Amino acid sequence: MSFKQISIWFVGLLVLGLASCNNNFDDPSAGQLDINTQQIRDYLIKSGLASRVTTASSGLYYVITDTTRSSATAKVPALGDEVEFIYTLSYINGGTAVFVDSIRSSKPMYYPFGIGAIIPGLEQGVSLLREGQKATLVMPYTLGFGGDARTINGVTIPAYSPVIFTVQLIRARTQSEQIADYTRNNGLLPLTTYSDSVKVFWRKSTQTGDVIASGDSVQISYRGTLLRGAQAFDSSAAYKFRFFSSNFIAGFASGLTKLRQGDSAVIIFPSTQGYGTQGLVSGISYVVPPYAPLAFEITVTSVKKNK
Dihedral sign from CA coordinates of 115, 121, 123, 128:
positive
4 pLDDT more than 50: no
- pLDDT, one tens digit per residue, over 143-192 is 999 999 999 999 999 999 999 999 999 999 999 999 999 999 999 988 88
66 pLDDT more than 80: no
Distance CA 127, CA 25 (A): 38
- pLDDT, one tens digit per residue, over 12-46 is 344 444 344 445 567 888 899 999 999 999 999 99
pLDDT grade for 5, boundaries at 50, 70 and 90: very low
Phi, psi of 26 (to 5 degrees): -80, 130
- pLDDT, one tens digit per residue, over 194-247 is 877 889 888 876 778 888 999 999 999 999 999 998 889 999 999 999 999 999
Distance CA 233, CA 93 (A): 41
**Global confidence as pTM:** 0.86
294 and 227 Cβ atoms separated by less than 8 Å: yes
Rounded to the nearest angstrom, the gap between the alpha carbon of residue 8 and the centroid of all alpha carbons in its chain is 11
| Domain parsing of the chain, residue ranges | 20-173, 176-304
Which pLDDT score is estimated for 67?
A: 66
Three state DSSP letters for 3-22 = CCCCCCCCCHHHCCCCCCCC
What is the full DSSP assignment across 90-135?
Answer: EEEETTEEEEEE-GGGTS-EEEETTSS-S-HHHHHHHHTPPTT-EE
Distance CA 147, CA 29 (A): 7
Phi, psi of 117 (to 5 degrees): -105, 0
CATH code, 20-173: 3.10.50.40
Distance CA 252, CA 254 (A): 5
CB atoms within 10 A of CB 51: 8
- pLDDT, one tens digit per residue, over 69-104 is 666 678 999 999 999 999 999 999 999 999 999 999
Distance CA 235, CA 294 (A): 13
Q: Percentage of residues in the chain with pLDDT exceeding 90?
A: 75
Q: May I ask the CATH architecture of the domain 176-304?
A: Roll (3.10)
Q: Confirm whether 20-173 and 176-304 share one CATH topology.
A: yes
Distance CA 36, CA 93 (A): 10
Q: Percentage of residues in the chain with pLDDT exceeding 70?
A: 90
DSSP assignment letter at 52: T
